[in-house]
Amino acid sequence: MSESTPAPDRGYRLTFLLRDDILEVGVSGDIDAQAIRIAYWQEIVAVAVARGCRKLLVTDRKKGKPARPEELAELARLLRSEREHFDRVAVIEPTPDFLPAIEHAEILGLEQGINVRVFGHYAQAASWLRYGSPDD
């Protein structure tokens, strides 16, 4: 089942695809701002919780620049209260230049108790969501 959220005036667009027990989410849009980042993560969490999906695979295709460390820390703190709903959260960052910032987000999420990992490719992310890794 695939669906998309309309309303491009929000500054982002989400697509959802349920594959087995994994909710795959695509994020796109042209505006990279903290308020928008918070809004789309809150929407992702709400949809996943409503559907009872404990594993998320989020591909961020937004353009612009990566979030600053303090913005990432704020987002991790906000999502901390939702950690009990998720076993694993995989984030795919397809822009190699953004990987260092997103890897920092992984560290901040882990510090908040969120089992999150960042990947550059879909296959690695999907495998981790299904099977975990030796260090899990």
Query: In this structure, are residues 92 and 124 in contact, taking their beta carbons and an 8 Å threshold?
Result: no
* CATH homologous superfamily, domain 2-131: STAS domain (3.30.750.24)
Residues 117-130 pLDDT 10s: 989 889 999 999 99
Residues 7-16 pLDDT 10s: 557 889 999 9
pTM of the predicted structure, to 2 decimals: 0.87
- The CA-atom distances, in angstroms, between 80 and each of 58, 85, 115, 132 are 17, 10, 10, 21
The two three-digit tokens of residue 25, written as one number: 């989410």
Digitized pLDDT (tens) for each residue of the chain, 136 residues in all: 555 555 557 889 999 999 989 999 999 988 888 999 999 999 999 999 999 999 999 998 776 777 888 998 898 998 899 999 999 999 998 888 887 877 888 898 899 899 999 898 899 999 999 998 766 5
